[in-house]
Structure 1
Amino acid sequence: MSSWTDTPQRYGRISRGFHWLMAALFAWQFAGALLYVSIGDTALTKFVGGSHLTMGFTLLVIVVLRGAWALVSLKRRPPHTGRLGRAAASGHALIYAVMFVQPGIALLRQYGSGKGFSPYGIPLMPERGSKITWMMVPADLMHYWLGFAFLAVIIGHIAMAAMHQFFWKEKVISRMT
């Protein structure tokens, strides 16, 4: 039977739940972005991408919860050991940093746009009607490119997990599945 909490040998149900829920939501986010880039503004793109802001906010909430859980569980979690332990820790730190910065940039742009934002009907930002250009500029410059850079980091994360599992015979994937 699997434990709810982390152990030095394996991540618990809570950590695994956060990981795979976020993986699914990021897949949805990237699907919408890639559809928009590849086929433009279509009904399919609007269906998948129409939830982009709300899903981004949801991911931010989950990353805060996941980060808090990781800190509480730090001494019980599987350690980053082996040949590339420091690189793995740095890669995970980069992933967490982008998971905080990317939605923060989007929220800054949303507020600066003057448009309201009410994810799940919860009014977070009232509509103002006027724009604040200096708030929109960083997101206009960075959100798109940081998103695709993050996709590259995620692909690298998956590739390194596969390398550890299949090439170096370190059973890291089984810790998170």
Structure 2
Amino acid sequence: MKNDSKERYGSVSKTFHWLMAVLIGWQLFKFGDRIAEGEHWVGETLVPWHVSIGTLLLILIVMRLAWVMTQRHQRPAQEPATAKLVKAGHGLLFAGMLLMPLTGMMVMLGGGYGMTAFDLEVFAKGEEIAWAATLGSLHSPLAWALTVLIIGHISMALIHHFVQRDDTLKRML
């Protein structure tokens, strides 16, 4: 089933969710740069793709948000007692997923580095741009905040599955 229903997420929502989960997990390997200044296998093989994967994630999150808007009236319902909390949590996750690549682009633009994704020039090297650098300075703190949100999201999914023993996790599997 392609579309979402009141009981389950459809194949498009599941594909977006799990593809982005893998790509965001890959992006989190960037934290490995803080170990031995990135001089290890992870830092030398996975981290160089950080900008390209971030650009892909920006495209995917825009597409995913558009998809969510088309499915908003038929998505699985939340328990009334926690519905606002669940919506707030998902809203923060979506905001983080959108802001991370945007602030990452601001790092590159603000520093005058230029930006290339998958060997395609997104913008050329140039002068430093102070306002873009200022916005880009939010990239690292947002990465930590998004990581905390992701850990909370995974934790809640596991609590629903193993403690509450409901079908919340199964809707996305």
| TM, length-normalised to structure 2 | 0.92
Q: Does 1:37 align with 2:34?
A: yes
What does 1:36-115 correspond to in 2, within 5 Å? 36-44=33-41, 45-115=43-113
What does 1:13-32 correspond to in 2, within 5 Å? 13-32=11-30
Query: In the TM superposition, what whole-angstrom CA distance separates every residue of 1:36-64 from its partner, at most 9, and x where no partner exists?
Result: 12332214213111111111111111000
Which residue does the alignment assign to 2:158? 162
> Tell me, what secondary structure is at the counterpart of 1:118?
strand
Unpaired stretches in structure 1, ≥5 consecutive residues: none
Which residue does the alignment assign to 1:173? 169
- How far residue 169 of structure 1 moved from its aligned partner, in angstroms, is 2.5
Which residue does the alignment assign to 2:132? 135
For 1:82 and 1:175, how far apart are their aligned partners in 2? 18
In the comparison of the two structures, how many residue pairs are matched?
172
Query: In the TM superposition, what whole-angstrom CA distance separates every residue of 1:60-106 from its partner, at most 9, and x where no partner exists?
Result: 11000011001011111112225322111110000011111121111
> Tell me, what secondary structure is at the counterpart of 1:123?
strand
What does 1:108-127 correspond to in 2, within 5 Å? 108-127=106-125
Shift in alpha-carbon separation, 1:82–1:163, aligned structure 2, 3 A: farther
Equivalent pair of 2:158/2:169 in contact (CA under 8 Å): yes
> Tell me, what secondary structure is at the counterpart of 1:111?
helix
Judging by fraction of residues, say which structure has more strand. 2
Unpaired stretches in structure 2, ≥5 consecutive residues: none
- How far residue 21 of structure 1 moved from its aligned partner, in angstroms, is 0.4
